[in-house]
Amino acid sequence: MLNNTVFITGASRGIGLSIAQAFASEGHFVIGTSRSKFDLESALGTEDCLHMILDVTDRTAIKEAHDTLKENNHLPGIIINNAGITKDQLFLRMKDEDWDDVINTNLSSVFNITKAFIKSMVKQREGRVINISSVAGLMGNPGQVNYSSSKAAIGGFTKSLAKELASRNITVNSIAPGFISSDMTDALTDDQKSEILNQIPMQKFGDPKNIAELAVFLASEKGQYITGQTISVDGGLYMI
Ligand SMILES: NC(=O)c1ccc[n+]([C@@H]2O[C@H](COP(=O)([O-])OP(=O)(O)OC[C@H]3O[C@@H](n4cnc5c(N)ncnc54)[C@H](OP(=O)(O)O)[C@@H]3O)[C@@H](O)[C@H]2O)c1
Protein backbone atom coordinates (compact mmCIF):
# COMPACT_ATOMS: atom_id res chain seq x y z
CA MET A 1 0.00 0.00 0.00
CA LEU A 2 1.13 3.58 -0.63
CA ASN A 3 0.20 4.80 2.82
CA ASN A 4 1.04 2.33 5.56
CA THR A 5 -0.08 4.45 8.52
CA VAL A 6 -2.74 2.63 10.54
CA PHE A 7 -5.16 4.33 12.94
CA ILE A 8 -6.49 1.96 15.63
CA THR A 9 -9.13 2.97 18.18
CA GLY A 10 -8.97 1.35 21.62
CA ALA A 11 -5.35 0.27 21.20
CA SER A 12 -4.33 0.30 24.86
CA ARG A 13 -5.29 -3.28 25.73
CA GLY A 14 -6.96 -6.48 24.56
CA ILE A 15 -7.67 -6.96 20.87
CA GLY A 16 -6.78 -3.37 19.91
CA LEU A 17 -3.30 -3.62 21.45
CA SER A 18 -2.74 -6.97 19.75
CA ILE A 19 -3.74 -5.40 16.41
CA ALA A 20 -1.31 -2.52 17.08
CA GLN A 21 1.50 -5.01 17.82
CA ALA A 22 0.78 -7.00 14.66
CA PHE A 23 0.85 -3.89 12.41
CA ALA A 24 4.00 -2.57 14.14
CA SER A 25 5.78 -5.86 13.53
CA GLU A 26 4.90 -5.56 9.82
CA GLY A 27 6.60 -2.13 9.71
CA HIS A 28 3.50 0.09 9.75
CA PHE A 29 3.40 3.47 11.48
CA VAL A 30 0.81 2.91 14.23
CA ILE A 31 -1.50 5.57 15.67
CA GLY A 32 -3.30 4.10 18.67
CA THR A 33 -6.03 5.77 20.70
CA SER A 34 -7.76 5.32 24.06
CA ARG A 35 -9.42 7.58 26.62
CA SER A 36 -6.71 6.87 29.20
CA LYS A 37 -3.03 7.71 29.00
CA PHE A 38 -0.99 4.84 27.56
CA ASP A 39 2.68 4.29 26.73
CA LEU A 40 2.29 2.87 23.21
CA GLU A 41 6.01 3.22 22.39
CA SER A 42 6.96 0.88 25.24
CA ALA A 43 4.13 -1.51 24.44
CA LEU A 44 5.17 -1.77 20.80
CA GLY A 45 8.93 -1.40 21.31
CA THR A 46 9.22 1.16 18.49
CA GLU A 47 9.23 4.93 18.00
CA ASP A 48 7.21 4.54 14.79
CA CYS A 49 3.97 5.09 16.62
CA LEU A 50 1.85 7.73 18.28
CA HIS A 51 -0.66 7.46 21.10
CA MET A 52 -3.57 9.90 21.17
CA ILE A 53 -5.99 10.35 24.03
CA LEU A 54 -9.32 10.37 22.22
CA ASP A 55 -12.89 9.54 23.10
CA VAL A 56 -14.46 8.03 19.97
CA THR A 57 -17.84 9.53 20.89
CA ASP A 58 -16.45 13.10 20.85
CA ARG A 59 -16.76 14.51 17.31
CA THR A 60 -15.00 17.78 18.14
CA ALA A 61 -12.00 15.94 19.57
CA ILE A 62 -11.91 13.64 16.53
CA LYS A 63 -11.85 16.64 14.18
CA GLU A 64 -8.95 18.12 16.22
CA ALA A 65 -7.10 14.77 16.10
CA HIS A 66 -7.61 14.66 12.33
CA ASP A 67 -6.23 18.19 11.91
CA THR A 68 -3.18 17.43 14.08
CA LEU A 69 -2.40 14.29 12.08
CA LYS A 70 -2.86 16.17 8.80
CA GLU A 71 -0.40 18.87 9.91
CA ASN A 72 2.13 16.16 10.78
CA ASN A 73 1.63 14.19 7.56
CA HIS A 74 0.23 11.22 9.44
CA LEU A 75 -3.23 10.80 7.95
CA PRO A 76 -3.89 7.05 7.90
CA GLY A 77 -4.38 4.76 4.91
CA ILE A 78 -5.90 2.11 7.17
CA ILE A 79 -8.56 2.62 9.86
CA ILE A 80 -9.34 -0.03 12.46
CA ASN A 81 -12.54 0.76 14.38
CA ASN A 82 -11.94 -1.42 17.42
CA ALA A 83 -12.97 0.54 20.54
CA GLY A 84 -16.03 -1.00 22.13
CA ILE A 85 -17.80 -1.50 25.44
CA THR A 86 -20.49 -3.71 26.95
CA LYS A 87 -23.20 -2.65 29.39
CA ASP A 88 -25.07 -5.93 29.70
CA GLN A 89 -28.52 -6.13 31.23
CA LEU A 90 -31.73 -8.00 30.51
CA PHE A 91 -33.89 -5.87 28.23
CA LEU A 92 -36.63 -5.26 30.81
CA ARG A 93 -34.05 -3.76 33.17
CA MET A 94 -31.88 -2.00 30.57
CA LYS A 95 -31.56 1.71 31.31
CA ASP A 96 -31.71 4.35 28.58
CA GLU A 97 -28.08 5.29 29.26
CA ASP A 98 -26.97 1.64 28.88
CA TRP A 99 -28.48 1.70 25.38
CA ASP A 100 -27.13 5.17 24.49
CA ASP A 101 -23.59 4.56 25.78
CA VAL A 102 -23.18 1.27 23.91
CA ILE A 103 -24.68 2.57 20.65
CA ASN A 104 -22.55 5.74 20.81
CA THR A 105 -19.31 3.96 21.68
CA ASN A 106 -19.66 0.90 19.43
CA LEU A 107 -21.65 2.17 16.44
CA SER A 108 -21.69 5.98 16.17
CA SER A 109 -17.93 5.92 16.76
CA VAL A 110 -17.51 3.90 13.56
CA PHE A 111 -19.36 6.67 11.69
CA ASN A 112 -17.43 9.44 13.52
CA ILE A 113 -13.95 8.05 12.91
CA THR A 114 -14.54 6.82 9.37
CA LYS A 115 -16.20 10.10 8.35
CA ALA A 116 -13.25 12.09 9.68
CA PHE A 117 -10.54 10.09 7.94
CA ILE A 118 -12.09 8.75 4.75
CA LYS A 119 -11.70 11.89 2.60
CA SER A 120 -7.92 11.62 2.37
CA MET A 121 -8.23 7.94 1.39
CA VAL A 122 -10.73 8.85 -1.33
CA LYS A 123 -8.25 11.45 -2.59
CA GLN A 124 -5.45 8.86 -2.59
CA ARG A 125 -7.83 6.37 -4.26
CA GLU A 126 -6.64 3.70 -1.86
CA GLY A 127 -7.47 2.58 1.66
CA ARG A 128 -8.80 0.06 4.11
CA VAL A 129 -11.52 0.28 6.76
CA ILE A 130 -11.74 -2.63 9.19
CA ASN A 131 -14.46 -2.70 11.86
CA ILE A 132 -14.33 -4.99 14.87
CA SER A 133 -17.80 -6.46 15.26
CA SER A 134 -18.84 -9.48 17.36
CA VAL A 135 -20.46 -12.88 17.10
CA ALA A 136 -23.17 -11.32 19.32
CA GLY A 137 -24.17 -9.12 16.37
CA LEU A 138 -24.65 -12.19 14.19
CA MET A 139 -26.43 -14.62 16.52
CA GLY A 140 -27.79 -12.43 19.37
CA ASN A 141 -27.13 -12.93 23.05
CA PRO A 142 -29.46 -12.59 26.06
CA GLY A 143 -28.53 -9.56 28.14
CA GLN A 144 -26.91 -7.87 25.14
CA VAL A 145 -29.75 -6.23 23.18
CA ASN A 146 -27.75 -2.98 23.12
CA TYR A 147 -24.41 -4.60 22.26
CA SER A 148 -25.86 -7.02 19.65
CA SER A 149 -27.73 -4.16 17.99
CA SER A 150 -24.60 -2.01 17.79
CA LYS A 151 -22.57 -4.84 16.27
CA ALA A 152 -25.30 -5.99 13.86
CA ALA A 153 -25.61 -2.43 12.55
CA ILE A 154 -21.88 -2.41 11.80
CA GLY A 155 -22.66 -5.14 9.24
CA GLY A 156 -25.00 -2.79 7.34
CA PHE A 157 -22.51 0.07 7.60
CA THR A 158 -19.78 -2.20 6.22
CA LYS A 159 -21.78 -3.43 3.21
CA SER A 160 -23.15 -0.02 2.22
CA LEU A 161 -19.85 1.83 2.55
CA ALA A 162 -18.04 -1.00 0.72
CA LYS A 163 -20.42 -0.51 -2.23
CA GLU A 164 -19.92 3.27 -2.19
CA LEU A 165 -16.13 3.12 -2.07
CA ALA A 166 -15.22 0.03 -4.11
CA SER A 167 -14.57 2.09 -7.25
CA ARG A 168 -12.08 4.19 -5.25
CA ASN A 169 -10.03 1.13 -4.39
CA ILE A 170 -11.05 1.33 -0.72
CA THR A 171 -12.17 -1.89 0.95
CA VAL A 172 -14.48 -2.00 3.98
CA ASN A 173 -14.74 -5.16 6.05
CA SER A 174 -15.64 -6.34 9.55
CA ILE A 175 -14.19 -9.02 11.77
CA ALA A 176 -16.59 -10.75 14.16
CA PRO A 177 -14.65 -12.27 17.06
CA GLY A 178 -16.20 -15.00 19.16
CA PHE A 179 -14.89 -15.53 22.70
CA ILE A 180 -11.35 -14.17 22.80
CA SER A 181 -9.10 -14.54 25.88
CA SER A 182 -9.30 -11.12 27.51
CA ASP A 183 -10.11 -9.34 30.78
CA MET A 184 -13.73 -10.29 30.05
CA THR A 185 -13.12 -14.05 29.74
CA ASP A 186 -10.68 -13.97 32.71
CA ALA A 187 -13.55 -12.74 34.88
CA LEU A 188 -15.78 -15.75 34.06
CA THR A 189 -16.26 -18.52 36.66
CA ASP A 190 -15.13 -22.07 35.82
CA ASP A 191 -18.78 -23.10 35.38
CA GLN A 192 -19.46 -20.21 32.98
CA LYS A 193 -16.28 -21.02 31.05
CA SER A 194 -17.18 -24.69 30.59
CA GLU A 195 -20.75 -23.79 29.53
CA ILE A 196 -19.36 -21.47 26.83
CA LEU A 197 -16.64 -23.90 25.75
CA ASN A 198 -19.30 -26.59 25.21
CA GLN A 199 -20.88 -24.38 22.53
CA ILE A 200 -17.59 -23.79 20.67
CA PRO A 201 -16.75 -26.62 18.24
CA MET A 202 -13.00 -26.00 18.75
CA GLN A 203 -13.53 -26.15 22.55
CA LYS A 204 -11.20 -23.23 23.29
CA PHE A 205 -11.19 -19.44 23.49
CA GLY A 206 -9.45 -17.50 20.75
CA ASP A 207 -6.30 -15.44 21.16
CA PRO A 208 -6.29 -11.67 20.35
CA LYS A 209 -3.58 -12.52 17.77
CA ASN A 210 -6.16 -14.51 15.77
CA ILE A 211 -8.05 -11.24 15.20
CA ALA A 212 -4.90 -9.14 14.69
CA GLU A 213 -3.49 -11.43 11.99
CA LEU A 214 -6.71 -11.28 9.98
CA ALA A 215 -6.73 -7.47 10.25
CA VAL A 216 -3.16 -7.34 8.89
CA PHE A 217 -4.14 -9.66 6.03
CA LEU A 218 -7.21 -7.60 5.10
CA ALA A 219 -5.10 -4.43 5.11
CA SER A 220 -2.40 -5.96 2.91
CA GLU A 221 -2.22 -6.31 -0.87
CA LYS A 222 -3.31 -9.92 -0.35
CA GLY A 223 -6.68 -8.69 0.91
CA GLN A 224 -7.30 -6.29 -1.97
CA TYR A 225 -10.28 -8.18 -3.51
CA ILE A 226 -12.20 -8.72 -0.26
CA THR A 227 -14.80 -6.08 0.54
CA GLY A 228 -18.17 -5.75 2.27
CA GLN A 229 -17.61 -8.89 4.34
CA THR A 230 -18.03 -9.76 7.99
CA ILE A 231 -15.57 -12.53 8.74
CA SER A 232 -16.09 -14.61 11.89
CA VAL A 233 -13.10 -15.68 13.97
CA ASP A 234 -14.78 -17.80 16.61
CA GLY A 235 -13.66 -21.44 16.58
CA GLY A 236 -16.84 -22.40 14.71
CA LEU A 237 -19.28 -20.92 17.26
CA TYR A 238 -21.43 -19.29 14.56
CA MET A 239 -21.75 -20.83 11.12
CA ILE A 240 -23.99 -19.28 8.45
N1 LIG B 1 -12.88 -9.77 23.97
C2 LIG B 1 -13.77 -10.47 23.29
O3 LIG B 1 -13.97 -11.68 23.56
C4 LIG B 1 -14.54 -9.83 22.17
C5 LIG B 1 -15.47 -10.61 21.47
C6 LIG B 1 -16.19 -10.05 20.42
C7 LIG B 1 -15.96 -8.73 20.06
N8 LIG B 1 -15.08 -7.97 20.75
C9 LIG B 1 -14.89 -6.58 20.32
O10 LIG B 1 -13.52 -6.31 20.15
C11 LIG B 1 -13.23 -4.95 20.47
C12 LIG B 1 -12.14 -4.91 21.55
O13 LIG B 1 -12.57 -5.66 22.66
P14 LIG B 1 -11.61 -5.96 23.90
O15 LIG B 1 -12.17 -7.14 24.61
O16 LIG B 1 -10.20 -5.96 23.46
O17 LIG B 1 -11.92 -4.66 24.79
P18 LIG B 1 -11.11 -4.03 26.04
O19 LIG B 1 -10.02 -4.93 26.49
O20 LIG B 1 -12.14 -3.58 27.02
O21 LIG B 1 -10.44 -2.73 25.36
C22 LIG B 1 -11.25 -1.70 24.87
C23 LIG B 1 -10.38 -0.60 24.31
O24 LIG B 1 -11.24 0.45 23.83
C25 LIG B 1 -10.93 1.67 24.51
N26 LIG B 1 -12.18 2.43 24.63
C27 LIG B 1 -13.32 2.09 25.29
N28 LIG B 1 -14.23 3.07 25.17
C29 LIG B 1 -13.65 4.06 24.44
C30 LIG B 1 -14.07 5.34 23.98
N31 LIG B 1 -15.28 5.84 24.26
N32 LIG B 1 -13.20 6.08 23.23
C33 LIG B 1 -11.98 5.60 22.94
N34 LIG B 1 -11.53 4.40 23.34
C35 LIG B 1 -12.35 3.65 24.08
C36 LIG B 1 -10.29 1.23 25.83
O37 LIG B 1 -9.43 2.21 26.40
P38 LIG B 1 -9.98 3.30 27.46
O39 LIG B 1 -10.88 2.58 28.40
O40 LIG B 1 -8.76 3.88 28.08
O41 LIG B 1 -10.70 4.29 26.62
C42 LIG B 1 -9.48 0.03 25.36
O43 LIG B 1 -8.29 0.47 24.73
C44 LIG B 1 -14.56 -4.34 20.96
O45 LIG B 1 -15.19 -3.66 19.89
C46 LIG B 1 -15.37 -5.56 21.35
O47 LIG B 1 -16.76 -5.32 21.25
C48 LIG B 1 -14.37 -8.49 21.81
Is 238 catalytic? The answer is no
Of 7, 99, 147, 205, catalytic:
147
Cα dihedral sign, 94-95-99-105: negative
- Taking CA atoms, 211 is separated from 6, 62, 149, 179, 202, in Å, by 16, 25, 21, 11, 16
State pLDDT tens for residues 77-90.
999 999 999 999 99
Average pLDDT, whole number, for the chain?
Answer: 97
pLDDT of residue 1: 57
pLDDT value for 2: 73
Q: What tens digit of pLDDT does each residue of 3-60 get? A: 999 999 999 999 999 999 999 999 999 999 999 999 999 999 999 999 999 999 999 9
pLDDT at residue 217 tops 90: yes
Residue type, 63: K
Task: Give helix 109-124 / helix 145-165 axis angle, nearest 10°.
Answer: 10
Q: Cα separation of 52 and 9, whole Å?
A: 9
Q: Whose CA is nearest to atom 15 of ligand 1?
A: 14
CATH code that applies to domain 5-232: 3.40.50.720
123-138 confidence digits (pLDDT tens): 999 999 999 999 999 9
Other CB atoms within 10 A of residue 189 CB: 8
Question: How many whole angstroms from 54 Cα to the centroid of ligand 1?
Answer: 13
The answer to whether 31 touches 69, Cβ cutoff 8 Å, is yes
Domain coordinates of the chain in residue numbers? 5-232
Q: Work out the angle at residue 154's Cα, subtended by the Cα atoms of residues 15 and 235, and round it to the nearest 5 degrees.
A: 50
pLDDT of residue 188: 86
pLDDT tens-digit readout, 94-131: 999 999 999 999 999 999 999 999 999 999 999 999 99
Distance CA 178, CA 171 (A): 23
Predicted local confidence at residue 185, as pLDDT = 83
Q: List the residue whose alpha carbon is closest to atom 42 of ligand 1.
A: 10
Q: What confidence tier does 183 reach under pLDDT thresholds 50, 70, 90?
A: confident
